Amino acid sequence: MSDETKVILYVEDNPENRLLVRRILQAEGYQVVEAEHAHQALEIIESLHPDLVLMDINMPDMDGFTLTAKFKQIPHLRDVPIVALTANVMRGDKERTLNAGCDGYIQKPIDVDALPAQLAAYLKHNEQ
């Protein structure tokens, strides 16, 4: 693995989504680390410095808004983009993701063709 390999932490309770996103992102050359729920993510993040976090919102143990707020309190995550992945299309959800500290959000269902470019934009933006 080269030093330039970007690491993406994907927090998602749905195994089918994890499989889909892992396939897409690995094909793009990313290293994908997965957490099946929020508490696992909190454990993983103690020793992981990802380049980007892809954050599901609806999870059984803690919602992605709350987890994002916790992540943004962690010093080594302060400048790491967190992109919410949500099926919620209710009014106010965009504001809620931004208030929680998310840098943006992508709506489910996942667009297989668009996802790489969507994430690349957040990674590139963060390098400027």
- Chain residues binding Mn ion by CB under 5 A are 13, 56, 58
CB-wise, 62 or 69, nearer to Mn ion?
A: 62
Phi, psi of 9 (to 5 degrees): -90, 125
Are 67 and 40 contacting, i.e. CB atoms less than 8 angstroms apart? no
CB-wise, 13 or 93, nearer to Mn ion?
A: 13
CB-wise, 17 or 120, nearer to Mn ion?
A: 17
What does the alpha-carbon distance between residue 100 and residue 89 come to, in Å, rounded to a whole number? 17
CB-wise, 34 or 56, nearer to Mn ion?
A: 56
Closest residue to Mn ion: CB criterion: 58
Minimum distance from CB of 56 to Mn ion (Å)?
4
Say whether 48 sits in a helix, a strand or coil. Answer: coil
Minimum distance from CB of 87 to Mn ion (Å)?
8
Q: Dig out the tokens for 99 from the structure.
A: 């208030």
Minimum distance from CB of 3 to Mn ion (Å)?
33
With 0-12 / 13-18 / 19 or more C-beta atoms within 10 angstroms meaning exposed / middle / buried, residue 12 is: buried
Of 35, 80, 38, which is closest to residue 59 (Cα–Cα)?
A: 38
Minimum distance from CB of 108 to Mn ion (Å)?
9
